[in-house]
Amino acid sequence: MEWKTDWGLRGRMFLTMFLLFALYIVFVGAMAAFFPTRILPILVVMTLFLGAQFLFSDKLALWSMGAKEVSEEEYPELHAMVSRLSQQADLPKPKIAVADSRVPNAFATGKSPSSSAVAVTTGIMRTLNEDELEGVLAHELAHIKNRDVMVMTIASFLSTIAFVVVRWGWLFGGGRERGGNQAPVIVAILASLAVWIVSFLLIRALSRYREYSADRGGAVITGKPSALASALLKISGRMDQVPKEDLRDQAEMNAFFIIPIKSGIVGRLFSTHPSTEKRVERLRELERELET
């Protein structure tokens, strides 16, 4: 199979970033209107936060998951597998990290292909066979090749800022503004809530499409769509066997996992990923295309 640029993904990434940027301008404008004396420090803090998130996103993601970079001596087979798949994907070999966790999962991070990392859990290495693990790693390399990891990192910034304002709106000092008038801080919190909801929905829509694209890209790299389909089914099935406290600890990284951690109807409705059944069906269609 030949790797083809996914213009649908590119278009969605551009549209999402454009809309989030417009949302950011509106958000800053609202803050300037109601907190004119504090807009400069607010902008400085937001800019510094965005810069730090962009520059250190790979290290922050690995740290939050408890994943540690491993050497070739420690995991020779894993390194050999990633090296081979990176060559097939025409990518520089990413850093490799392992998280000691029973949750069977994997994710990719990094702001560019040359500064990327692929992390797997010990749980996923115990769960999958060699072909299935290759399919998962190829899926993560497809994310890196598509550069959607960087886009998701930037896109999540505004959502994070808005959520912080909603949760800690009192930090803006509404009670001390305009003679103790609470109206400005209430408006700021409502504006932030609206920004958070819109950015949340935009990110979810992009995240679901990027998973389909990475599934196809992973199948192109390995030439084995059925292996990735089998891996998805195995991982999804094992999630129910993992203790709930382990799932809660890692749920914040959902957008970057190959299978999200979710529960109940609400979890499925607002999931960062399409359903496993739909992903598997698309991979099986791809397998049929290969056979014919």
- Please list the active-site residues: 140
Q: Which residues does 33 contact at the CB level (< 8 Å), separation at least 6?
A: none
DSSP structure string for 148-159: HHHHHHHHHHHH
Identify the H or E element spanning 223.
Answer: none
DSSP code for 257: B
Residue 241 burial class via C-beta count within 10 angstroms: exposed 0-12, middle 13-18, buried 19 and up: exposed
Torsion of CA 212, 214, 216, 220, to 10 degrees: 180
Residue closest to 24 by CA, chosen among 206, 162, 225: 162
Q: d(Cα 206, Cα 12) in Å, to the nearest integer?
A: 6
Joined tokens for residue 12: 């969605």
